Amino acid sequence: MTTSSIIAVVGGINMDLVFETERAPDKGESLDAKSIAYFPGGKGANTAIALHRTSHTKPANTDATIKQDDGSGIVDRHDIRVFMNSAVGDDQFGVELKATLENHGINISGVQTVKGPSGICCVVVEIKNGASRGLAYQAANLEWNASDPHTIESLACGFRPDLVITHLGIPRKRIEKILETATKAGVDTILNPSPADYLVITTYKNVTHLILNKQEAAHLTAQEYADLATPVGWAKAAAYFVDKGVDNVVITLAEKGAYFATRGEKKGKIDAVKDVAVKDTTGAGDTFVGMYAVEVIQQKKRGQWDIEAAIKRACKASARTIERLGAQESIPWLDEIDG
């Protein structure tokens, strides 16, 4: 049995209600959608699925449940074991959301079931260009608490994770505590501050990798969104986070790719994949985070860190995601990324 790497994810789990429309309605305007579909989603859950899919080839029978573990957290054939931490409501959505994660071999012992509704997100997708907008009601996600916020092992069934990924679908103060606990334990962290919220400045020194889009970067640096339209703006925003203590900053730029900067003064831009048939941009950012995290783990095993290679791989995976409708179902498997 090979030693597997452990990644703990802390973030929201939602059911997405996806509306396809010719265009998003303007203020005060009502429009009819062309279709509606329900898809499991939530940034935390999407990232967990992305971690699994981008590190495994597509199984012959995708309807079959992928074996997780026997309660010990040990999985025979998987190099990466994923532990999800969040909460769902005691409703039918909650049952479905947990089942989807479990069917992907993800450990859901950290997914709590609380009284009330599960998180839900209304996603509006424009048919012509695949642009999406989401409005989430976090509901049960706001009730999640770590079983022991002072030990990082509590996020992975008592095992020490090699990497902790956090999103802000969970209340900010709890995420800040997790990042602090991980840093004290010497565990690398990824923070995707979405939905964007104010963060205590001292939190940034506990972030190994900060991955965010232009809107989130503008919000957290108190810049105008228009300022993030140029390389000068990207560099200024990235430098802000590096100055606050972040080791690696990645600002995703949609069809333009991504800009990065590190504490080692390495910086640059990686182009996006060209000629992509965009169907739905939902889940692209979560796929990026998941694939980037897989690169972090795999490169660490080889004793190296090439941020440019990680971003290029994450851009490829994200490009595959936006070619299909929905978040989790559109995330590519390992053997689909280069297709």
Low-confidence ranges of the chain (pLDDT < 70): 1-2, 61-78, 339
Question: What integer pLDDT is reported at residue 212 of this predicted model?
Answer: 97
What is the rounded CA–CA span in Å between residue 128 and residue 274?
A: 18
What is the rounded CA–CA span in Å between residue 194 and residue 197?
A: 7
Helix, strand, coil percent values for the chain (each to nearest 5):
35, 25, 40
List, for residues 184-220, the tens digit of each pLDDT value. Answer: 999 999 999 998 888 999 999 999 999 999 999 999 9
The three-class DSSP label of residue 242 is helix
What is the rounded CA–CA span in Å between residue 128 and residue 158?
A: 47
DSSP 26: P
Residues 92/15, Cβ–Cβ less than 8 Å: no
End-to-end CA distance of the chain: 31
C-alpha separations of 98 from 104, 120, 122, 330 in Å: 10, 14, 19, 18
Question: What integer pLDDT is reported at residue 61 of this predicted model?
Answer: 67
Token duo for residue 234? 């990207």
Question: What integer pLDDT is reported at residue 63 of this predicted model?
Answer: 53
Question: What integer pLDDT is reported at residue 77 of this predicted model?
Answer: 36
Question: What integer pLDDT is reported at residue 1 of this predicted model?
Answer: 41
Instruction: Identify which of 2, 4, 209 has the alpha carbon closest to the alpha carbon of residue 105.
Output: 4
Question: What integer pLDDT is reported at residue 325 of this predicted model?
Answer: 80
